[in-house]
Structure 1
Amino acid sequence: MTPEIQIQLSPSSSAAAAAAASSAAAASAAVAMPEPLHESIPLRKTTAGSSNKNKNKLALLPLVFLIYFEVSGGPYGSEQTVLAGGPLLAILGFVLFPFVWSIPEALITAELATALPGNGGYVVWADRAFGPFSGSLMGSWKFLSGAINSAAYPALCADYIARVVPTVSSGGPRVAAIAAATVLLSFLNYTGLTVVGYTAMALCAASLSPFFVMAAAALPKLHPRRWGAVAHDRDWRLFFNTLFWNLNFWDNASTLAGEVDRPQRTFPRALLAAGLLTSAAYLVPLFTGTAALDEPYSSWGSGFYADAAGMIAGRWLKYWVEVGAVLSAIGLYEAQLSSAAFQLLGMADLGFLPKPFALRSKWFNTPWVGIVTSSLISLGISFLSLDDIISSANFLYSLGMLLEIASFLWLRRKQPNLKRPFRVPLRMPALIFMCFVPSAFLIYVMVLANWRVFAISGGLTLFGGAMYFFMEFCKARGFLKFKLEERMGEMEEQEGNKDEA
C-alpha cells in the first residue's frame, strides 16, 4: 500500500446514524440487544450533515478514488510478494486473496454503510450491535491505527525531497520538511472532501501512468513462462502480510458516509469500481515486471518497481515512478486523514467525544478540529521509531475488524428487518462461512506478534477503554459539553411543548 513499506504484522490499509425510520419489527428485535445510548435519538439528520448543500456532497467518482487510496494507492510496496514467493504465488495471491479477504470486507462495508448512512462508520455498527462501550472502543482502535499509519506519509515525502536536496536528510531541515509537508497536506484536506476527492483522481492518474507506460515498453521483452516460477525459499509470513497490507482498509471510507450523495446507491458502486481499479493497479506491473526481467527474487524489495522501470525503459521512467511514489503517499495521507477526521466528528455527534469535535469550518464545512487533532498526532509520531508502534497499531486494527465482523453478524441476526438498501445475498450459515476465513486470518497475524506489540497494544486498548469511562464521568459531572446531551434536551423540550399544546 505504501511506497518503501516495511511489512508489519497486519494491515496497511459505513455508517454513523441509526436508521431513523426502522420498522416496528426492527425496534422489537433491538429490545433483546444491549441498547446503545443513542439508538432512540434521530441521528441521521445531524450526522449526515444536513447543513451541507447537495452540491457539496461527495459524488461517485471522487468517492471511488478516495476508497482506492484508503486501500491501495498503487503497487508501491507490493513487490515483496515476489521476494517471498516468486511470480506464480504473487500473481495468484493478488488474484485470489481479494476473494477471501477484500470482497467480504467490502460486502460488509456496503451493507452496513447503506443501512446506517452517516459519519462515524464502524463506530456506529459496534454501538448499534453491542452498546456504547463497544462503539467507543472500536473508535479508539481504528482511530489510533489510522493516525499512526498515516504518520509515515509526510516522512516519506521528506525522504524523496532529500534525494534532490540532501540537507533535508537529517536534523533540523528534515524536521522542518516533515512539518511543512504535514501542514500543507492537512490544509488541502481542510478545503473539503470534494476537493480532496478530485485531487485523488489526479494523483491516481499521475502515480499509475508510469506503470502503464512500463507495460507498453515491456511488450517486446515479455517471456510469459516466467510467470510460472516459484521461489525456492518461501517466506509465508512476509507473503501473507504483504497481501494483507495491500488489500486492506475497505471500511475506512464508511466514516465519510454522511458526506456522500445518495450513499445507499453510491457506496456499493464506488466499492466495486475501486476494487477493479485496485486489482489493475497491482496486476499490470506485476505481470509486466516478472515476465520482462530475469532478476533474482531477492531484488524484489520495496521500491524495486522504480528499478524495474529503469531497466525496461530507461532512467527517465525510473524517476517518473519515484515521483509517482510521492504522489501516491500524498493521496494515502489525504484519504486516511479524511476518514480519521470525519470519524471524530461522527463520534462527537454520537456523544462519545465532546462537542468541539463536531465543529465544522464555516468556509468549507469540514471537521477542522478532527483534522487538526489527527494531523498533530500523526506529526508527533512521524519523528519516532515506528517499527513496533506501527505493528501495534495494525494489531489494534485487527481487533477492530474482528469486532466489526461480529457486529455485522449480530445485527443481521438480531435486526433482520433493519432496512438494508444493499444486502449481502446470503443466509446466516453462508454469512458465517464468508466471515470465518477473514477472522481466522486476523487471528493468525495477531498470534505472530512479539511481546512488545502485545504490550503496546494492550496499553493502547486500556487507554481507549479508560477514555470511555472518563467521558462518561465528564458527562455525569457536567465538566464537558456533549452534542448528544444537547439534542436529548431539545427532544425533551419539544415533547414538553407538544404536551402543553
Structure 2
Amino acid sequence: MPNQESTMEPSSKTAMVPQDLPVTTAATTTTAATNRKKLTLIPLIFLIYFEVAGGPFGEEPAVQAAGPLFALLGFLIFPFIWSVPEALITAELSTAFPGNGGYVIWADRAFGPFWGSLMGTWKYLSGVINIAAFPVLCIDYIDKIIPAFESGWPRYLAISISTLILSFVNYTGLTIVGYAAVLLAIASLSPFILMCLIAIPKIHPHRWLSLGQKGVGKDWNLFFNTLFWNLNFWDNVSTLAGEVDNPQKTFPVALFVAVIFTCLAYLFPLFAVIGSVNVDQTRWDSGFHAEAAEMIAGKWLKYWIEVGAVLSGIGLFEAQLSSYGYQLLGMANLGFLPKFFALRSSRFNTPWVGILLSTAIILAVSFMNFTDIIASANFLYSLGMLLEFSAFLWLRRKLPALKRPYRIPMRLPGLVIMCLIPSGFLVIIMAIATRTVYLISGLMTMAGIGWYFLMKIFKSKKFCVFSTIEVDEG
C-alpha cells in the first residue's frame, strides 16, 4: 500500500498550498506546542481500529439477511470497494495536510470555507449521535447481570454516569486513550481467538457455501447497511493528524495495518461460527456470537464475549470522542469556530471544550428513542463522504504539484473510478431512506448552513474572537 514520495518540487508558487497545518497566532499554539505527547504507531493503529470496528460485534445480521455465503463474500469483497478507497484517501490527504481538522481542511482547500464548514457540521453531528449508542450498548449487556438497569431511573442514571466516566478518561489525554485502546482490543478479541481455535475440529466447510435457509427471504437493505455500519469511519482519525508523531510516515503504515487487522477480526469469527454451528438463520441477529460461543465451548466463553462487547463499546466511545473533540479544536484553529473551542487543558493538553460539548450532546441523545436520528446521522455521513471524495479528486486536479508524502499510485481517471464505486453505494443508501430521515437530515443541514453564516456575522461584528490564520506557502 505505501508509496512514499520523498520529494516533489512545485512547478510554480501559484501551484502551492499550505503543506502543513495552517499556522495560527502564537497565542493559539503556545500551549499546544509545549509538553505535548504525540501518538506513536501502535496506539494509532488501535485507535483507527476502534474508530471503525472494535471487534466482530454487530456483523451477525449479515448472515440473517443474506445467508452464510453472501455474508462471507460481503466481508471479503466490501473492504476493497469501500474500506480500502476510504483508507487510501485518508492516508494521502492526512499526510498532505497533517493537522487537526482532517476532512474539514480538505473540503476547505478544495472548495472554500462554506463547504469546509458544512463538512464539519455533517461529520460532527453524525459522529456524536453515533457515539451515544455505545454507553447504551454497555448498559444493555450489564443489565443481564444487574436487572435493575433494564428500565426507569436506575437505567438513566447508569447511562449518565458511564458516559461521564468515559468522557473523563478521554479528557486525561490522547496518549492514555491510545494505549487503553491497545489493552481493550486485546481483552475484547481474546475470547474470539479462543472460540475460533476451539471451533476448528467442529467446522464443516460446506456450510460456508450455503446460500441461506429455504423459506427465508433476502433482506438486502439490512445486508448492505450491516456491511456499511461495520466498515466505515476510516477518515475519523484524520482529525487527530496534528497529534501524531511524524504523521507523513506513521499514517500510511497505521492505516494499512488497521485495514488488514480489522478485516481479519471480522472474517475469522464468521468463518468459525458458520462452519461449526448449525442453527436457524433467523437467530443470527446482533449478539449471536455470544450464543454461538456457548454452543462451541460453554457458558464461560459466552460471558467472556459479553464482557468483551462492553470493553469494545468503551473503546469505540473513547476513540470516536477523541476524533470529534479534536475536530472542533481544528475547526477553531482554522477560524470556522470561535477561538474558545481551541482551548486545551493546562494539565492534559486535551481539547476540553470540544469534549465537554460532545459529552453534553451525547447525554441528550442517549435518552431519546433515536432510531430515525441514527438513520439521519448515517445520511449526513454519506453526504460528507460524497463531499470528501469530490474534494480528493478536485485537489488532485487543482493542485497536482502539492507535496504528498504518501500518494495513491494511480492517475486521475483511475482515481475517479475508485471513488465512483463507493459513491454509487452511498447514493443507494441515501435513496432508500425514509421521509423522516430526509426531514431530519434536511433540518440538520439547514442548521449547519445557518451556523456558517452566523459565524460570518460574528466575525464581521467582532462578537467573538476567532483565530487569525497565517498560511505557510512552503
Interval containing the TM-score (normalised by the shorter chain): over 0.9
**CA, structure 1 residues 165+188, in 2 after alignment: closer, same or farther (shift >3 Å)?**
same
Q: Is residue 110 from structure 1 mapped to residue 91 from structure 2 by the alignment?
A: yes
Amino acid at match of 1:365: N
The worse-fitting range, judged by mean Cα deviation, of 83-92 and 333-342 is: 83-92
Q: 8 Å contact 1:74–1:208 — kept in the other structure?
A: yes
**CA, structure 1 residues 41+179, in 2 after alignment: closer, same or farther (shift >3 Å)?**
closer
CA separation in 2, counterparts of 1:181 and 1:42? 37
CA separation in 1, counterparts of 2:25 and 2:423? 30
**Partner secondary structure for residue 114 of structure 1:** helix
Amino acid at match of 2:57: Y
The worse-fitting range, judged by mean Cα deviation, of 128-137 and 85-94 is: 85-94
Q: Deviations over 1:10-55 (max 9, x none)?
A: xxxxxxxxxxx99664652479xxxx9xx9953599679851446x
Q: 8 Å contact 2:89–2:392 — kept in the other structure?
A: yes
Q: In the alignment, which of 340, 347, 354 is matched to residue 363 of structure 1?
A: 347
CA separation in 1, counterparts of 2:129 and 2:103? 18
TM-score by length of 2: 0.94
Residue aligning to 1:333: 317
Matches within 5 A, 1:87-166: 87-166=68-147
Amino acid at match of 2:265: A
**CA, structure 1 residues 40+244, in 2 after alignment: closer, same or farther (shift >3 Å)?**
closer
CA separation in 1, counterparts of 2:300 and 2:409? 49
CA separation in 1, counterparts of 2:435 and 2:40? 44
**Partner secondary structure for residue 480 of structure 1:** coil
**CA, structure 1 residues 156+224, in 2 after alignment: closer, same or farther (shift >3 Å)?**
same
Residue aligning to 2:4: none
Q: Deviations over 1:104-145 (max 9, x none)?
A: 000100000000000000000000000000000000000000
Residue aligning to 1:239: 223
The percent of aligned pairs where both chains have the same amino acid is 59
Amino acid at match of 2:357: T
Q: Is residue 215 from structure 1 mapped to residue 199 from structure 2 by the alignment?
A: no
Residue aligning to 2:377: 393
**CA, structure 1 residues 349+423, in 2 after alignment: closer, same or farther (shift >3 Å)?**
same
Residue aligning to 1:203: 184
Cα shift at 1:296: 1.5
Cα shift at 1:161: 2.3
**CA, structure 1 residues 89+151, in 2 after alignment: closer, same or farther (shift >3 Å)?**
same
Residue aligning to 1:28: 14
Residue aligning to 2:438: 454
Cα shift at 1:163: 1.8
CA separation in 2, counterparts of 1:47 and 1:286? 47
CA separation in 1, counterparts of 2:22 and 2:163? 37
Amino acid at match of 2:33: S
The worse-fitting range, judged by mean Cα deviation, of 83-92 and 376-385 is: 83-92
The worse-fitting range, judged by mean Cα deviation, of 197-206 and 164-173 is: 164-173
**Partner secondary structure for residue 364 of structure 1:** coil
Q: Is residue 185 from structure 1 mapped to residue 171 from structure 2 by the alignment?
A: no
Q: 8 Å contact 1:26–1:416 — kept in the other structure?
A: no
Residue aligning to 1:51: 33
Residue aligning to 2:273: 289
CA separation in 1, counterparts of 2:25 and 2:261? 31
Count of residue correspondences: 462
**Partner secondary structure for residue 143 of structure 2:** helix
Q: 8 Å contact 2:100–2:243 — kept in the other structure?
A: yes
**Partner secondary structure for residue 256 of structure 1:** helix
CA separation in 2, counterparts of 1:433 and 1:371? 38
Q: Is residue 230 from structure 1 mapped to residue 211 from structure 2 by the alignment?
A: yes
Q: In the alignment, which of 147, 153, 156 is matched to residue 175 of structure 1?
A: 156
Amino acid at match of 1:340: Y
**Partner secondary structure for residue 164 of structure 1:** coil
Residue aligning to 1:69: 50
Q: 8 Å contact 1:30–1:414 — kept in the other structure?
A: no
Q: Is residue 314 from structure 1 mapped to residue 298 from structure 2 by the alignment?
A: yes
CA separation in 1, counterparts of 2:433 and 2:249? 39
CA separation in 2, counterparts of 1:216 and 1:121? 40
CA separation in 2, counterparts of 1:198 and 1:270? 14
Residue aligning to 2:428: 444
Cα shift at 1:471: 0.6
Q: Whose RCO is larger (CA < 8 A, sep 6+)?
A: 2
Amino acid at match of 1:273: V
CA separation in 2, counterparts of 1:91 and 1:401? 25
Unmatched runs of 5 consecutive residues or more in structure 2: 1-6
Q: 8 Å contact 1:44–1:117 — kept in the other structure?
A: no
Q: Deviations over 1:371-405 (max 9, x none)?
A: 00101101100000111000001100000000000
**CA, structure 1 residues 328+393, in 2 after alignment: closer, same or farther (shift >3 Å)?**
same
Residue aligning to 1:347: 331
Q: 8 Å contact 1:48–1:117 — kept in the other structure?
A: no
CA separation in 2, counterparts of 1:246 and 1:330? 16
**Partner secondary structure for residue 117 of structure 1:** coil
**Partner secondary structure for residue 163 of structure 1:** coil
Amino acid at match of 1:89: F
**CA, structure 1 residues 78+26, in 2 after alignment: closer, same or farther (shift >3 Å)?**
farther
Residue aligning to 1:15: none
Cα shift at 1:173: 1.0
Amino acid at match of 1:271: L
Q: Is residue 261 from structure 1 mapped to residue 245 from structure 2 by the alignment?
A: yes
**Partner secondary structure for residue 266 of structure 2:** helix
Unmatched runs of 5 consecutive residues or more in structure 1: 1-20, 492-501
CA separation in 1, counterparts of 2:21 and 2:440? 36
Q: Deviations over 1:343-378 (max 9, x none)?
A: 000000001111111000011100000000101101
Amino acid at match of 1:209: S
CA separation in 1, counterparts of 2:277 and 2:112? 54
Q: Deviations over 1:319-339 (max 9, x none)?
A: 111000000000000011000
**CA, structure 1 residues 63+41, in 2 after alignment: closer, same or farther (shift >3 Å)?**
closer
Cα shift at 1:480: 0.8
